[in-house]
């Protein structure tokens, strides 16, 4: 298992953990975390299949998302779809955080699972799934509908590729350090039969 170095940027801190399918040297699972004028864009991408060609598709997605990070998530998926037509394609989930109104706008195509864990002092811990729609970016897009969710400081977004088993968020302690959460998810819920990547991001707000 490999860890990304935990990072802090405006509004968001995050950590990652990943595993490469045995026998391959390169993962088809990638992520980006990029600052935007109003906040931050987070994305996790799973190139179809595994190995070099899957990695190639994911790299095109990462480059496109980094370049156009300030655009809407719908525009970003369309950009990726165009840029990735000559690749195998990929599934991906995007989340764009904004400090202006404390929101997260998210959109998933295919099965990169997204879960938002809330730390509401009164309601306790609650979870919400990010809606995913079937499709493959670079090949066939579903009707794109972004979902806007309010977020509060302390809320945690987890994005995981399908190399991680569903249900990974059950019994998580979200007050734990982010790297520890990422490591636990990857080591305890990684399938071992596919590339796996999990990104855990905490919304910190801008102090206003």
**Site mask, Mn ion, residues 139-178, x = CB under 5 A?**
----------------------xxx---------------
Q: With residue 182 as reference, give the H or E element that holds it.
A: helix 178-189
When the beta carbons of 12 and 19 are compared against Mn ion, the nearer one is 19
Site membership for Mn ion, residue 128 (CB under 5 A): no
Residues numbered 1 to 60 that lie near Mn ion (CB under 5 A) are: 46
Could you tell me the smallest distance in angstroms from the CB atom of residue 137 to Mn ion?
A: 14
Residue 188 structure tokens: 């305890």
| Cβ closest to Mn ion, residue 163 vs residue 190 | 163
Residue 200 is inside which H or E element, if any? Answer: strand 196-203
Cα 73–Cα 78–Cα 83 angle in degrees, nearest 5: 120
Q: Examine residue 194 and tell whether it contacts Mn ion (CB under 5 A).
A: yes
Whole-Å CA distances, 180 to 62, 75, 148, 187 = 25, 33, 28, 10
Decide whether 48 or 181 has the Cβ nearer to Mn ion. Answer: 48
Least separation in angstroms between residue 204's CB and Mn ion is 30
Q: Which helix (H) or strand (E) holds 202?
A: strand 196-203
Query: Is residue 113 within the footprint of Mn ion (CB under 5 A)?
Result: no
User: For Mn ion, which is the closer residue by CB, 68 or 168?
Assistant: 168
Distances (CA, A) of 122 to 65, 118, 173: 37, 11, 17
Part of the chain binding Mn ion (CB under 5 A), chosen from 5-13, 138-146, 171-179, 188-196: 188-196
Cα–Cα distance between 186 and 154 in angstroms, integer?
A: 21
Nearest approach, Cβ of residue 28 and Mn ion (Å): 7
Binding residues for Mn ion (CB under 5 A) = 46, 161-163, 194
């Amino acid at each position: 298992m490999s860890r990304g170095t935990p990072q802090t940027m405006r509004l968001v801190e995050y950590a990652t953990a990943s595993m490469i399918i045995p026998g391959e040297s390169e993962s088809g699972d990638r992520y980006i975390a990029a600052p935007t004028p109003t906040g931050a864009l987070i994305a996790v991408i799973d190139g179809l299949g595994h190995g070099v060609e899957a990695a190639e598709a994911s790299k095109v997605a990462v480059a496109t998302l980094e370049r156009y990070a300030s655009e809407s998530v719908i525009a970003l998926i369309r950009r990726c779809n165009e840029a990735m037509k000559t690749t195998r394609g990929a599934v991906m989930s995007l989340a764009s955080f904004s400090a202006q109104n404390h929101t997260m706008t998210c959109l998933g195509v295919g099965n990169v699972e997204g879960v938002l864990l809330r730390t509401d002092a009164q309601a306790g811990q609650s979870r919400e799934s990010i809606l995913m729609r079937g499709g493959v970016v670079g090949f066939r897009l579903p009707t794109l509908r972004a979902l806007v969710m309010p977020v509060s400081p302390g809320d945690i977004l987890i994005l995981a590729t399908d190399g991680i088993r569903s249900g990974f968020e059950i019994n998580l302690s979200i007050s734990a350090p982010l790297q520890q959460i990422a490591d636990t998810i990857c080591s305890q819920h990684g399938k071992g039969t596919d590339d796996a990547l999990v990104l855990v991001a905490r919304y910190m707000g801008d102090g206003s």
